[in-house]
Amino acid sequence: MATRPTWQGYLRLSLVSCPVALYTAASSSSEVHFNMLHKETMNRIKMTPTDPETGPVDRSDIVKGYEIEKGRYVVVTNDEIQNVRLETTRTLDIERFVVEGEIDRLYYNDPYFLVPDGDMAVEAFTVIREAMEKADRVALGRLVMHQRERLMALEPRDRGILAYTLRSKREVRDAEEIFDRIPDAKVNAQMVDIASRIIEQQEGPFDPSQFNDRYEDALRALIREKEKGRTVKAPEQPKEAEVIDLMEALKRSLGQGGGERRKTPARAKAAPKKAAPKKPAAKSPARKAPARKRA
């Protein structure tokens, strides 16, 4: 079955526009999902809308309401919601271009693929994409998706455009609220040096195939065993970590590096040369944008 676009509309750069389609770049379809069953009949349970006073409610009698204070609601109809339409409902209008590193990775959300929608759109789409690549900047625009206006970050990727939804300022908490609770501490320079050497031992290229969801794998193994009618025993609980001297723990960790891990840094330094970004160092601010792990 062909993948359906999440959103369809127009990409616009000033007076140039073209029809485009937005597709999700990540999928959760492989995740393990459980159904709620009656333990005797094994029938799936139906979640019936229920009024706490009158009992089950027909869906045609359900309306949408916004709670403005405890127990007091403003009811809004679907037609009224449809009337609140913005231009961005059908248009992804590029408003600004920024240096990639200026976008704090806290704001990055879900990845999407943006492509021309139809053969007639290819030329204009390609002109916009090539101009973005030449400018070496991330484009910012907005669109309405899932009844919300969302800020989008766009960057060229192969023959298309990689788009990320960005969280709004209201959605991102101030890091100081949490980090300020960490007390100041003076650390031993020798300990830091040993920890740095441990990091060097564990350097290597990013290979997403090495990072499977082990909990998901364990769930699938459990389901296979249950399907065969076998009883699954709980694994032994791991022992609590011993409270040992920090310096001793660092030294022991350094000794467990192993020959294979010591070879890894050489591969890690060689691999990125093929995909190194063509950006002058002067343009890159201190903060780095995300390492596109979801694409």
DSSP-assigned letters across all residues of 153-186: EEEEETTEEEEEEE--GGGSPPTHHHHTTSPP--
User: What is the band of 263 on the pLDDT scale with cuts at 50, 70, 90?
Assistant: very low
User: What is the band of 86 on the pLDDT scale with cuts at 50, 70, 90?
Assistant: low
Alpha carbon distance 51, 221 (integer Å): 41
Domain boundaries, the chain: 7-27+84-171
- Average pLDDT of span 230-250: 75
Q: What is the mean pLDDT of the chain?
A: 81
204-to-194, 219, 260, 269, 293 alpha-carbon distances in Å: 18, 29, 11, 8, 15
Query: Is 0.75 topped by the overall pTM?
Result: no
Q: For residue range 166-212, list pLDDT tens digits in order.
A: 998 889 999 888 999 999 888 889 989 999 998 888 888 888 777 77
Alpha carbon distance 164, 146 (integer Å): 15
CB 98 within 8 A of CB 150: no
Alpha carbon distance 263, 259 (integer Å): 7
Q: For residue range 3-25, list pLDDT tens digits in order.
A: 889 999 999 998 899 999 999 99
Of 142 and 83, the one with more pLDDT: 142
**Per-position DSSP letters for 52-106, written without gaps between them:** TTTEE--GGG--EEEEEETTEEEEE-HHHHHH---GGGTEEEEEEEE-GGGS-GG
pLDDT reported for residue 240: 66
What's the CATH fold of domain 7-27+84-171? Answer: Ku70; Chain: A; Domain 2 (2.40.290)
Of 42 and 265, the one with more pLDDT: 42
Least confident of 39-48, 95-104, 264-273: 264-273
- Average pLDDT of span 57-82: 87
pLDDT reported for residue 277: 46
How many Cα atoms within 13 Å fall on the side-chain side of residue 244? 10
Query: Measuring CA to CA, which residue among 4, 6, 10, 11 is closest to residue 154?
Result: 11
Residue 138 has pLDDT above 80, yes or no: yes
pLDDT reported for residue 29: 64
- Cβ contacts of 66 within 8 Å, gap of 6 or more: 73, 74, 76
Residue 264 has pLDDT above 50, yes or no: no
Q: For residue range 146-161, list pLDDT tens digits in order.
A: 778 889 999 999 999 9
Alpha carbon distance 111, 88 (integer Å): 19
What percentage of residues in the chain have a pLDDT greater than 70? Answer: 82
- Average pLDDT of span 256-283: 45
Alpha carbon distance 16, 13 (integer Å): 5
Q: For residue range 87-133, list pLDDT tens digits in order.
A: 667 899 999 999 988 999 999 999 999 999 999 999 999 999 999 99
Of 279 and 133, the one with more pLDDT: 133
Residue 287 has pLDDT above 50, yes or no: no
pLDDT reported for residue 276: 45
pLDDT reported for residue 21: 95
pLDDT reported for residue 280: 46
**Per-position DSSP letters for 223-241, written without gaps between them:** HHHHHTT---PPPPPPPPP
- Average pLDDT of span 34-51: 88
Max mean pLDDT among 30-34, 68-72, 216-220 falls in 68-72
